[in-house]
Amino acid sequence: METPNLRLGVIGAGFVGRAFVQLLTDPSRQVALVDGANATLEIVGVAVRDTTTPREGIDPSLLVDDPLALAAREDVDILVELAGGTDPTRSWIETALHRGASVVTANKALMAECGTELARLAHDNGADLLYEASVAGGIPIIRALRTSLAGEKINRVLGIVNGTTNFILSQMTSEGRDYAEALAEAQALGYAEADPTADVEAFDAAAKVQILSSLAIGTALHGEAISREGIAKVRAVDVDFARRAGYVIKLIGVVERVGEHGLSRRTHPALIPLEHPLAAVHGAMNAVFVEGDKSGPLMWLGQGAGGEPTATAVMGDVLHAARNRASGRHDVPFSVDDRLTNVDEGDLTSVYYLSLDVLDEPGVLAQVAGVFGRHEVSIQSMEQSGFGSEARLSFLTHEARARDVSSTLDELDQLASVDSIGACIRVIDGGGA
Ligand SMILES: NC(=O)c1ccc[n+]([C@@H]2O[C@H](COP(=O)([O-])OP(=O)(O)OC[C@H]3O[C@@H](n4cnc5c(N)ncnc54)[C@H](OP(=O)(O)O)[C@@H]3O)[C@@H](O)[C@H]2O)c1
């Protein structure tokens, strides 16, 4: 039987797009690619903003400047969207799907905003919509959740899914830097953007949590906001306390089943015990830790960003979509479990690390302890450090409700002997209680 030829339109020739085109045209990979796709793959156009800039490894005659026209071309079987952003990107993807072309994308923002609708559109038109590279770059976690773990009940997913923040926190931990120094270093090395908001305020991680949640638990992808806290308030003294207490601070994304149909999705910094596998994920690496009902704990580790690692995930999707097309089929979209409801985050319990900047005078500790007691937050351990204007009280609580911790902090904030609340960070799987 003759091997079919499938045509690809690629939008974007930046970090990921260029690496993808180079992979696809690498002569040493051709046999494996034809084998994986069950077809030969041909790029018919690469859309960019500026067609005059030379792109290493890309034939200049392929460059076009109209992504919508490329998406609409009848001879494009698979559209590979590697431009990013939600507008007008959505219209390019919808145009391709409407005419039955499959779409492969690395676009977490778009998938988190309208993934359910796009997946439905793909299905209605007999096409695939695949987005492996949208979460944790080169780590093949989406297909693992979608296929290998399809029959498993997932109770919790913990992810270090943002390399920039993991790099910053790693530098704070290993080099003793404060937040501003570590951020500046991340920017100088190209790990952080000039405007780092999307990373350090955890917008990027929150979109990835949404996508993981849809696959692990069955939530819809329609731009719902989830509980989000970034790392900008983490101080060197918090990192130091954590280290001495046997923890490391990481920004984690959490998807957690609570009871049968309750759900918590959130991102926040957390103290992670040094013996937990996620504690060993350093620098810009990503990891996803999955707890299945019967599988027990599983973890994937790898490069969450970078053109080449991310392009391998894109390639995996392209080969899958090609194989499907060559055999006249497509994947069914992920199903949405309508019974799931977001729990009240105030009801969730955790061990907490709390730190207070206090006046250096007698009686302060007794006052503070009284406030904890009134709100039923019990103290597991306490450390008094610093002198004068540097005086600080740091606590690890026993398991406490978020609502009670929050009311404790509100009352502490009113005390004349408390200068400021320095930190309130949850402890994951840690100690006591
Ligand atoms: N970089 C990573 O490590 C990574 C990891 C995981 C996922 N992703 C995702 O992959 C996607 C691409 O990321 P990237 O880092 O490769 O981005 P990038 O380096 O900024 O490249 C974006 C490309 O898209 C083109 N483009 C953007 N808007 C366009 C428009 N309106 N018309 C035509 N072309 C347009 C740009 O053209 P010009 O070159 O002419 O400006 C550029 O070639 C994003 O969704 C991102 O979130 C990236």
pTM of the model: 0.96
Give the model's pLDDT for residue 2. Answer: 81
Tell me if 5-137+307-326 shares its fold with 345-427. no
Pocket test for ligand 1, best of 95, 132, 166, 310 (most atoms within 8 A of CB): 310
Q: What CATH architecture applies to the domain 154-303? A: 2-Layer Sandwich (3.30)
pLDDT tens per residue, range 360-377:
999 999 999 999 999 999
| Active-site residue (options: 208, 233, 250, 294) | 208
In the chain, domain spans = 5-137+307-326, 154-303, 345-427
pLDDT tens per residue, range 84-124:
999 999 999 999 999 999 999 999 999 999 999 999 999 99
Distance 296 CA to ligand 1 centre (A): 37
Q: Closest ligand 1 atom, CA of 313?
A: 6
Give the model's pLDDT for residue 432. Answer: 39
Pocket test for ligand 1, best of 15, 51, 86, 161 (most atoms within 8 A of CB): 15
Give the model's pLDDT for residue 3. Answer: 86
Answer yes or no: CATH 1.10.3720.10 is held by domain 5-137+307-326: no
What dotted CATH number matches 345-427?
3.30.70.260
Instruction: Tell me the sheet residues that pair with 78.
Output: 8, 102
Give the model's pLDDT for residue 334. Answer: 84
112, with CB counted inside 10 A (0-12, 13-18, 19+), is buried
| Site residues for ligand 1, CB cut-off 6 Å | 12-17, 47-50, 67, 82-84, 106-108, 133, 137, 305-306, 310
| Residue 208 annotated in active site | yes
- Looking only at the bridges linking them, the beta strands covering 349-358 and 392-397 are antiparallel
Give the model's pLDDT for residue 430. Answer: 64
The pair phi, psi for residue 45, each rounded to 5°, is: -170, 145
Low-confidence stretches of the chain (pLDDT beneath 50):
432-433
**Euclidean distance between CA atoms 195 and 390, whole angstroms:** 31
